[in-house]
Amino acid sequence: MSNDNARQHPLLLTWDPSPGADHIEVQIHPRRRGGSEPPLSPPSPGRRHSPPLNPTTTDERDHNFSLFKRWFPWLVPSFVVANIAIFIITMYINDCPKHSFPPSSCFASFFGRFSFQPLKENPLFGPSSATLGKMGALEVDKVVDKHQAWRLLSCIWLHGGVVHLLANMLSLVFIGIRLEQEFGFVRIGFLYLISGFGGSLLSALFIQSGISVGASGALFGLLGGMLSELLINWTIYANKFAALLTLIVIVVINLAVGILPHMDNFAHIGGFISGFLLGFVFLIRPQFKWVSQRNSRPVYAEHLVKYKHKPYQYVLWVISFILLLAGLITGLVLLLRGVNLNDHCSWCHYLSCVPTSKWSCKAEQLYCETTQMGNQLNITCLSNGISELFPLSDTGSSKAQRLCYGLCST
């Protein structure tokens, strides 16, 4: 199986939700399918504001503004370190010189067993599809037939190459650290993992060939959480309309990039929807006045705020929790029963790739014929007729697959 057929999850964004930011800044960074692309960078919704119960001085307003706790970010950096460590382990197991013929075909062969697959096979400077499969990449047939549902989570820790890894990790740092500072490691950790699971689940329901790796579904979940956090905590933000408009534009651009070939836009959409619903559940803020009165001198009874949250916040919390739980359970049941949602939606495949005169959305199929000749195996690529002899004792099924790809790519 070619790594070109490995699906990936793409472009990511970042915004600055830090206090005191009176401007909106948009940064664009490049993004999973053997390719890499992080989202763009979301805007800061501006300084949180709320008139104090007895507004008097600027100092008092600043005091009210600082009532929300700030957290020290350690989980997101830990995620980055874990992703890098897993990629190094994957390259060690890949051992291109041992599993490729000839060994000199490996790119950057001076790295030894850490050298990359030939660029024709994997242009992202990474391992083979077979190695990613052994490490836990999302393969729908193994999830359905061999009940390996754990691959829905393990795939978000794997990357197709150095380019893919760097793009996603930079996006995770820009987005994740600011969110962890605002909401803490528990909520952001669950938001990241559940969004990644949701992205993998929707991807597996629509794209059931090839393999899938990458953290882009989880990263789009963080982006969706930013949007819902702005909506559910609407009353405590300044510059909210400008922030909302900018964030929506960024989301649309990133999802639009996903319709290019070799992108798994279903993972982006699934991660974004999961994160959007989770934001209403995990990122809800109490009313500013409620927080202020708990941390300031006693006030008159008529100024007291009785409820921690506004009524619309409770409504959004309940609706989002029900929709999220129902969606994840239903999707998992359908997947384990082997359902392909393309059979029930004839146009949905256009959400992940739109064919044009410049590219095709059909994955290239490579076929080889093998013939045993004594202690050697003759492999012939049926598309171009090129054949080679290889030692039979050193040609397992996964290596034969890689050799077939190499012959057909010549």
Placement of tokens 């193994």 in the chain: 142
Asked if residue 342 and residue 225 are part of one domain, the reply reads yes
Distance in Å from the first CA to the final CA of the chain: 16
Whether 36 maps to a domain, the answer reads no
| Residues in a beta bridge with 381 | 368
Whether 93 maps to a domain, the answer reads yes
Entry pTM: 0.75
Whether 212 maps to a domain, the answer reads yes
Residues 6+ apart with CB under 8 A from 69: 184
Q: Cα angle vertex 331, ends 141, 211, to 5°?
A: 30
Asked if residue 247 and residue 116 are part of one domain, the reply reads yes
Asked if residue 253 and residue 105 are part of one domain, the reply reads yes
Each residue's pLDDT tens digit in the chain (410 positions)? Answer: 444 445 544 444 444 444 444 443 433 333 444 444 555 555 555 544 433 333 334 344 344 445 678 899 999 999 999 999 999 999 999 999 888 777 778 998 899 999 999 888 888 899 998 899 999 999 998 999 899 999 999 999 999 999 999 999 998 999 999 999 999 999 999 999 999 999 999 999 998 888 899 999 999 999 999 999 999 988 777 788 888 888 888 888 888 887 777 778 899 999 999 999 999 999 988 876 776 666 665 555 556 767 777 888 899 999 999 999 999 999 999 999 999 998 898 888 888 888 877 776 766 666 677 777 777 777 877 666 677 777 766 656 656 766 776 666 55
Burial of 193 (0-12, 13-18, 19+ CB in 10 A): middle
Placement of tokens 């805007």 in the chain: 43
Whether 2 maps to a domain, the answer reads no
Do residues 117 and 2 lie in contact, with contact meaning Cβ atoms separated by under 8 Å?
A: no
Asked if residue 398 and residue 273 are part of one domain, the reply reads no
Burial of 397 (0-12, 13-18, 19+ CB in 10 A): exposed
Asked if residue 312 and residue 191 are part of one domain, the reply reads yes
| Measured distance CA(399)–CA(393) in Å, rounded | 11
Please give the tally of structural domains in the chain: 2
Question: How many residues are recorded in the chain?
Answer: 410
Placement of tokens 């060994």 in the chain: 103
Residues with catalytic function = 216, 268
Q: Which domain holds residue 201?
A: 74-289+307-352
If phi > 0 it is left, if psi is from -120 to 50 it is alpha, else beta; for residue 287 that is beta
Asked if residue 402 and residue 259 are part of one domain, the reply reads no
Whether 24 maps to a domain, the answer reads no
